[in-house]
Chains A and B, each alone.
Chain A
Amino acid sequence: MKALIRKLSEAYGPSGREDALRQIVRAELRGLSDYISEDPLGNLHAVIKQKARSGRRIMLAAPMDEVGLQVSHVDENGFLRFAPLGPLEPLHCVGARVRFADGRVGVIGVESRGEASALPTVHQLFVDVGAVDRDSSAFKPGEAAVFDRALAEVDGRLVGKALGGRTAVAVLLETLRHLKRTPHEVQFVFSVQEHVGSRGARTAAFALEPEVALTVDAAPASDIPRGSPAAIALGHGPVIRAREGYAISDPRIVEWMATRASEARLPHQLGVFDTSASNPTTVQTSRAGVVTAGLGLPCRYLYTSSEMVDLSDAENAVKLLLSLLASPLPF
């Protein structure tokens, strides 16, 4: 699983430009599902057809896209001004190395400021691509870049850019690979534009009409010095989300997941997240409604160039999903 996560994490895929991810995921999916389709927004659907009358339509969705930036202006000296693409924070930008679709890199600099202690705003930032002036610059407004970071391993944990979301993609692929028997129609959705309002998951839910949906994504871990009170810890198992932003998870799913996890003796954590950069309500309120909950992978330093996850949480998430899918729903 580590090799797969490395490949996914290091791939280029800001929101709306998930081509490289689609290629990797498509190759991984070969022969694993009854059918694969790509929808108009670019989501990949890999569907296992329903095998038993007791089965239901269950959607599992993980995001392919990552936070990035989009060039808005090239100045006369060739510096690139930009706007965030997704929840990119200026605090995490200064000094970061970024990479464009074709592999060219740049570094994010900050203007000289009067008060050095204040946080920079995005308007004070720019990408330096080593250009000498606008005319000789090959960069154009509209181009998008992501953090440029190779995956690293620190004391058994993984560190990399886009790591939380891409680990969720790997969790779905591994679940599909090991899914031997299920009564359900299982719809694996690798979604686009998650970080700009869960657009891919919204249209996928409309198209596939699931009865139940589990959104699988990174969950902010708070086991850091002076962390927030929600206390989600790395290595303590996947997070069953009771709330994510405005979406209150259906209590029947939360109960089902927590009970299965306990019965299977899988470590797990319950989480309540008042705010969320993504928007799972788009799935919950699709059509006549979808019974929805989120499964989170604990992830420190979310949306920075160095997200950190614990591989055991991903492995336990796969085990939990396999266990959940193995039998009819209790509700």
Chain B
Amino acid sequence: MNKIFAKQSIVVPIVSIFLGLMFGAIVMLAGGYNPITAYNALVSEIFSSRYNIGETIANITPLILTGLAVAFAFRTGLFNIGVEGQLIVGMTAATIVGIEFGYLPWFVHMPLSVIAAALAGGLWGGLAGYLKASRGVNEVITTIMLNFIALYLGNYLIKAFYLEPGTARSYKIEDSASLRTDWMTNLFDGARVDLGLIIALIAVIAFYIILWKTKQGFELRAVGLNHHAAKNAGINVNSNVVKAMFISGMLAGLAGATRSLGLFDAQTIAAAYTGLGFDGIAVALLGGNGAIGIVLAATLFGSLKFGGGGMNYVEGVPNEIINVVIASVIFFVAANGIFKLIIKPFKAKRKQKGAAS
């Protein structure tokens, strides 16, 4: 377990979160809002009822999957900024399959829709991986570009073939494709918790097992840590790059499935990205690219996102400031190198004093 929970990887995020919240408090004070009541509202929004807990979980679920997607590529030394696009492609595939094959029984239709999302996302990611492996094109550039293509391609397909007249969204998916189940909905007082949560938790376990228990994972990690040594040891670096991007894209595609098959029952014509793919980068970073770390990080982000709403109703903190608070947490985590830089001279001074005395 110490692979996931290195001592340093737990201290740094906690300090980062704390500093982020402190900075958020300063921003709120500057804006004339009381940070104590605001943070209070945030906490109670998350935990006050079964419904709220359920909605928080619904916010966490896709972040677990996008966080895993980013981390999986990262473990192979790849920076997949295209999780957003892979998610949209997966979501679109799930929507289409979810609308089309209504004659199938649910136990075929729902898994089929989910698998379609995973495959579509995987192919979208694998494309960037293939370009990197065969032509050496940097995956950062290709995935950013593929994000744009995914967004507008998804919108186009929905608009052209599946738009429900008079709305800005597709037809509802068939019930047989839905991830919702009565027992989960009832358990959380009608909140939008669904089988997406189970998918995410299975993905967490699969992520861990693939990377740390299989031959394939050994290769992926070797390539990620030192591709020269991996190549020298006879590992096919290029095929591992494609595989890593494919699996990463699959995880992103599953995140997409939880949107259209679960949360919304349909796909909206989107003016902008969902942001979940980019949040996934922060989640992976905060979670130290480890399975459990990602669950914790996604929990933090999802909770802040949902609970932030409470700060708005109770203390009247505007959404902009709530986003500043969330962003400052991310900033402090991403910039943890900065505190090391700040802390280091202090440490050195202390050492010198010790040596001189």
Question: Does A pair with B?
Answer: no
